[in-house]
Amino acid sequence: MTSKVGSTLLAAVLCACASLIPISSSLAAPAPVPAVPPVVTGLPDFTDLIDKVGPAVVNIRTTERIKNGPSAMGDEELQEFLRRFFGVPTPRGQSPGQTPRRRAPQQDEEVQRGVGSGFIISGDGYVLTNAHVVAGADEVIVTLTDRREFKAKVLGADERSDVAVLKLDGNNLPFLRVGDSSKIRVGEWVIAIGSPFNLENTVTAGIISAKSRDTGDYLPLIQSDVAVNPGNSGGPLINMRGEVIGINSQIATLSGGYNGISFAVPVDEAMRVADQLRKTGKVTRGRIGVVMGELSKEVAESLGLGRARGVEVSQVEQGGPADKAGVKVGDIILKFNGQPIESSSDLRRQVGAAPVGSKVTVTVWRQGTQKDIPVTIVELEDPKSASKRMTPKKPSPEATPNALGLHVSDLTEAQRTDQRIPGGVLVDSATGAAGRAGLQPGDLILQLNNTQVTDAKQFNALVAKLDSKKPVALLVRREDQTSYVMIKPR
């Protein structure tokens, strides 16, 4: 009875609504309604997928041989450090807060450095993980889900992409199929398997949140909301077809723990790196010898570009490929070998992927005109041989900082040659506005707004002329990373 009354009322309402719509015989037939995708009736079931891929995911433990001596960390500090950050259990019979008993010092002692994850990519024992998982390790132990343990050989590790390749002495091992990370879609389900906090074979699930996040120098990372914590590093990000599409590598956090955002190295890029590591033990990348800066909308409009695109050449390495080819400070690089450049990360990746010794065409915007410049690619130095952080000088007690809160000093000719820069100043101390902006002793200042810095006298004179109410942009180099730092007045 109730159903019949309800149906009658519904029909009456529909008729009343229809009577309000004017009808015209001249109206065309209504357009077809787009098909509505089927509503998801339940969450995906990962059980069969995990049974299939789980055995190929491994736990990685690393140890380091330390020497006991005056400079070594004390027993108490070492034990507490390992317990808090790597999950190493407190010795039997000792509570977490209890001071450990002193042991007689030994010549050498192996201690656990950390725990990470990895995955096997071939039946003959090749393993992928993160470079930071095995960095500094004297011994790497890989444990499979069936409790078999292997001493792994590190064939190579690339810091810039955070990819490392290990080799196990085994055959017929379980391995993961490699997927195509270029075909991933935002919103698709993915899982991560690893050893967070040394809890082996832990599975977490989520979705891909974004593609091509510019958080890496040479790789656009995959962002997901899969839970990743210390120990997950190096483990696989797997799609619903059981294919690995990424290596879990980083998290975005303010607390040090997982906050809902994690990043993975795309497996396509990781495999390109891995192939080089397997063959030569290192990765060869190209460079052209320029320091780049992002282009603001205001600057782009004033130069006649219409919108912010390309990257500004803020420094040219003296005697480098770009310098020899005729690239100048102030040029705007719009294209690399015909491919549009939207950001400095675009250019860095394309240059890095170019074969060493090849000739490329760099398209620049200079004084209102577009110009093609042929440049020869040279090899990018290994991070270990790249410029290191410089030792600041101690300011004299009577010296006062400039208006930005900086004490700076001149570079020697040897330092400029080593850093491959024509000028710049060394930050000896940073307080006030500069300190709040993050500048540190040992940084190099290469440019103030649009003016190249030559020495301390010129830099301090420029600072003295600044409007104290306006922010200032400094081009700053820290080790081998260069970026703009905005210093804002209070």
The pLDDT, as a whole number, for residue 66 is: 66
Is residue 420 in a domain?
A: yes
Report strand pairing: 126-129 vs 472-478: unpaired
Q: Is 231 annotated among the ligand-binding residues? A: yes
What domain range is 462 assigned to?
A: 387-487
Q: pLDDT tens digits, residue range 401-457?
A: 999 999 999 998 888 877 777 889 999 999 999 988 889 999 999 889 878 899 999
Same domain, 118 and 201: no
Catalytic residues: 132, 162, 233
CATH number at residue 460: 2.30.42.10
Read off the tokens for 178: 């490699």
Residue 67: pLDDT band by 50, 70, 90 thresholds?
A: low
Residue 481 has a pLDDT of 67
Interatomic CA distance for residues 256 and 306, integer angstroms: 42
Residues 246, 185, single domain; the answer is yes
* pLDDT over 70 at 388, yes or no: no
At 147, list the tokens: 């409790």
- Residue 179 pairs with which residues in a beta bridge? none
201 and 219 in a single domain? The answer is: yes
359 vs 476, residue with greater confidence? 359
Same domain, 121 and 209: no
Residue 10 maps to a domain: no
Q: Does pLDDT of 355 surpass 60?
A: yes
The tokens describing 35, both together, are 């098909």
| Same domain as 163, residue 136 | yes
Does residue 133 belong to any structural domain of this protein?
yes
Distance CA 219, CA 208 (A): 17
Lowest mean pLDDT among 25-34, 94-103, 185-194, 439-448: 94-103
- What's the total number of domains in the chain? 4
Q: Which residue has the tokens 């002692």?
A: 109
Q: Which single residue is written with the structure tokens 């003959």?
A: 124
Check whether 337 is labelled as a binding-site residue.
no
The whole-number pLDDT of residue 293 equals: 79
* Among candidate residues 380, 407, 422, the one where a domain is terminated: 380
Residue at a domain's end among 380, 413, 440:
380
Residue 164, pLDDT above cutoff 80: yes
Q: Out of 78-87, 131-140, 339-348, 449-458, which region has the weakest mean confidence (pLDDT)? A: 78-87
> Per-residue pLDDT averaged across 64-91, rounded?
48
Q: Which of 211, 245, 280 finishes a domain?
A: 280
* Average of per-residue pLDDT across 281-309: 84
Highest mean pLDDT of the ranges 36-45, 110-119, 328-337: 328-337
Q: Is 30 part of a structural domain of the chain?
A: no
**pLDDT digit string, tens, across residues 214-258:** 765 677 899 999 999 989 999 999 999 999 999 999 888 776 678
> Cβ of 145: how many Cβ atoms within 10 Å?
15
> Is 232 marked as binding a ligand?
yes
449 and 414 in a single domain? The answer is: yes
Share above pLDDT 70 across residues of the chain, in percent, rounded to a whole number: 78
Do 376 and 391 lie in one domain? The reply is: no
Buried b (16+ CB within 10 A) or exposed e, 299-317: ebeebebeeebbbbbbbbb
Answer yes or no: is 31 within a domain.
no
Residue 165 pLDDT greater than 80, yes or no: yes
Closest of 390, 218, 424, 409 to residue 318, by C-alpha: 424
Task: Give me the CATH number covering residue 80.
Answer: 2.40.10.10
Q: Is 132 annotated as a binding residue?
A: yes
233 is in an annotated binding site: yes
One domain for residues 59 and 158: yes
Same domain? 298 vs 270: no
271 and 216 in a common domain: yes
Higher per-residue confidence, 106 vs 11: 106
8 A C-beta contact, residue 380 and residue 320: no
- What is this structure's pTM? 0.65
Q: Is residue 95 part of a domain?
A: no
6 occurs within a structural domain = no
Same domain, 225 and 197: yes
204 or 394: which leads in pLDDT: 204
Is residue 36 one of the residues assigned to a domain?
no
